[in-house]
Amino acid sequence: MIYCRGHAKDYDEWQTKGAEGWSYADCLPYFKRSENHELGADAYRGGNGPLHVVRNTQKDQPLFQAFLDAGVEAGYPFTDDLNGYQQEGFGWHDLTIHNGQRWSTSAAYLHPVLHRANLTVMTETYVNKVLFSGEKAIGVEIEDSRTKVVSNISTTNEVVLSGGAINSPQLLMLSGIGDGDHLKQLQVPIVHHLPAVGNHMEDHIGVHMQIACKQPLTLYRASKRYPRNRVRLPTAKSVASYEHLSSQLREDIGHAMTGYIFLLRGSKNGTLRLRSANSRDYPRIDPKYLAQEENRISLRESIKLMREIFAQSAFEDLRGKGISPKDAVELDDEIDAWDLHITWRVLREWELTRIRLLTCRLVSTESKDFVLSTRPLCQIL
């Protein structure tokens, strides 16, 4: 629900590297056109779009205000609008919420036009592959997940692929667009040799710090339905699966504060490859988390920065002992070891931030290893 556009300089960097038409000045009118901000329109906000946006100013929550005050105490600026002129600093997030509910792009764009005669929405339906005549996309092969019936949908215009950073490259490779050697190994007929498909994957590496809170101000009370040092029983009538549980039960720590740290320019050069020619098989993903030394250094310094924030006087009446990492974890090597443990534990559960990107990246002047052009707009090369 957090509404964050990304930093303006990132868009400008895309333009500099060859992505014509993707500067922040080019994209801003579309952001504004989509947005219906509760504070009204200005130079950076929209006021009449379908996407409802609210400002998360929970000033009655002392923890939130303490965090903002601590940031300013530590010498960092406060910003009134994280999507506005000054994006750096501490400030209140915008959220996509309307009438107390999450306001998704589906709610904003799809549901209002479901009645249109020229629109058909098919749920519980897989796309197996894109169909081609030569190198021109002419349709898609689909499969009903309930009946297992396979059929084709044809077009004389265009096929728009919008499967995200995981399914888009997977579907391209299943359709014969990707690295030729990889496709041959899986006996997928090659339509177009394009090695960049599935390369350059990035993700926002994230870890979280936990610190005990001396005041009963957190969500802990709302989560006390079950004892925190017990294994919870499911509420379903039967148990459908079993898991081996390690001995991770611990003493109830009570109220605590959590600080999340994300490297917005995190892992680099991850890869995605097909596991098989079956569209139901999950692809093989090598994210290369913490493969670059700069990531390790950035995470280490971020831990120190978060500790600096919590050490400010704004947290004096709230701050308890460190839970994860412990206060005794101070040396660089100790922080690095904690970072590595937490990151790989989360990776095992394939959580992290789930903000993967660049597996079908735009044209770049730095390399010929790209998938999409900008003229025509986002067309596969």
DSSP assignment of 142-166 equals EEETTT--EEEEE-SS------HHH
pLDDT tens across 288-311, in order?
877 888 888 888 898 899 999 999
Q: What is the mean pLDDT of residues 247-274?
A: 77
Q: What is the mean pLDDT of residues 228-253?
A: 44
Q: What is the mean pLDDT of residues 212-240?
A: 55
Q: Which CATH superfamily is domain 201-230+253-348 in?
A: Glucose Oxidase, domain 3 (3.30.560.10)
Give the CATH fold of the 2-112 domain: Glucose Oxidase; domain 3 (3.30.560)
Q: Rounded CA gap, 294 and 171, in Å? A: 32
Q: What is the mean pLDDT of residues 60-65?
A: 85
Spatial contact of 257 and 211, defined as CB atoms under 8 Å apart: yes
pLDDT level of residue 235 (50, 70, 90 thresholds): very low
Tell me what pLDDT residue 347 has. Answer: 59
> Which residue type, as a one-letter code, is found at position 346?
V
Global confidence as pTM: 0.83
pLDDT tens across 102-119, in order?
999 999 999 999 999 999
Every domain of the chain and the residues it spans: 2-112, 121-193, 201-230+253-348
Among residues 357, 359, 354, 362, the alpha carbon closest in space to that of 379 is found at 362
pLDDT level of residue 278 (50, 70, 90 thresholds): very high
Q: Does 86 or 239 have the greater pLDDT score?
A: 86
1, pLDDT greater than 70:
yes
Among residues 258, 219, 260, 256, the alpha carbon closest in space to that of 353 is found at 260
Q: Kind and range of the H or E element at 55?
A: strand 51-55
Write down the mean pLDDT value for the chain: 85
Query: Both ends of the chain: CA-CA distance in Å?
Result: 34
Inter-helix orientation angle 332-348/293-310, to 10°: 100
333, pLDDT greater than 80:
yes
Q: What is the mean pLDDT of residues 51-56?
A: 94
Tell me what pLDDT residue 381 has. Answer: 60
Peptide bond into 189 cis (omega under 30): no
22, pLDDT greater than 50:
yes
Q: What is the mean pLDDT of residues 77-98?
A: 94
pLDDT tens across 115-146, in order?
999 999 999 999 999 999 998 999 999 999 99
Tell me what pLDDT residue 228 has. Answer: 44
In the block, tokens 């957090």 appear at 2
Q: What is the mean pLDDT of residues 10-28?
A: 93
Q: What are 330's two structure tokens?
A: 């101070």
Q: What is the mean pLDDT of residues 1-21?
A: 91
pLDDT level of residue 225 (50, 70, 90 thresholds): low
Q: Does 376 or 182 have the greater pLDDT score?
A: 182
User: Are 2-112 and 201-230+253-348 in the same CATH fold?
Assistant: yes
